[in-house]
A and B are shown apart, each in its own frame.
Chain A
């Protein structure tokens, strides 16, 4: 079973960029027909799918995030990343990375505040 671990700053100032990394262990990010996802959950709210990168390195984004989101993969480090620009308080959430819907990271809380 693969393990995923999110990492990144827990506090980001408004208008700045949120950057998170998901390190994958116990399996290669290049193997299998998987989608590597980012999902977030605002405090007390439901789950929101942000985007994913497929096994063929095709990237899909939630249109609601428009041009603010970037997902990249670094196969040499077996990790993928999330970048969210121009953040506001509404981007405060627990951010999860996941392999398809099967394997999930523990989540990391990112607070947007000055």
Chain B
């Protein structure tokens, strides 16, 4: 199975900062990658799919890039409501594995 890793595991930032989270697949997955935001006690929320396509209704400060094995989620101008854990997920083939998550706080 393809393994997914994320870095860093956690980070602290300030309001207005640019935040970058990296997701790496152990084998190429083309652009079959999604990013989710999860707040405590809530279901995950889809932010990005197909590596770089912004889901409808998601603020434009969120962006995704990458293809193959290396992917990035960027949050431009971090806002207080962005405090959450962020997960990547591959969906090119079964199993649709999630990364371990990156916790973002202030």
Q: Please list the residues of chain A having a beta carbon within 8 angstroms of any beta carbon in chain B.
A: 37, 39, 46-49, 52, 60-64, 96, 98, 101-102, 104-107
- Mind listing 30 A-B residue pairs with CB under 8 Å? A37-B96, A39-B44, A46-B87, A46-B98, A46-B99, A47-B38, A47-B87, A47-B89, A47-B98, A49-B95, A49-B96, A49-B97, A49-B98, A52-B96, A60-B95, A60-B96, A61-B94, A61-B95, A62-B95, A64-B95, A96-B43, A96-B44, A101-B34, A101-B36, A101-B89, A102-B46, A102-B55, A104-B44, A105-B43, A107-B43
Residues of A within 8 A of B34 (CB): 101
Residues of B within 8 A of A104 (CB): 43-45
Q: How far is the CB of B61 from chain A (nearest CB, A)?
A: 20
* B95 in contact with A101 (CB, 8 Å): no
- Category for how many chain B residues contact A: 20 to 34
Complex Cα spacing A61 to B1, Å? 13
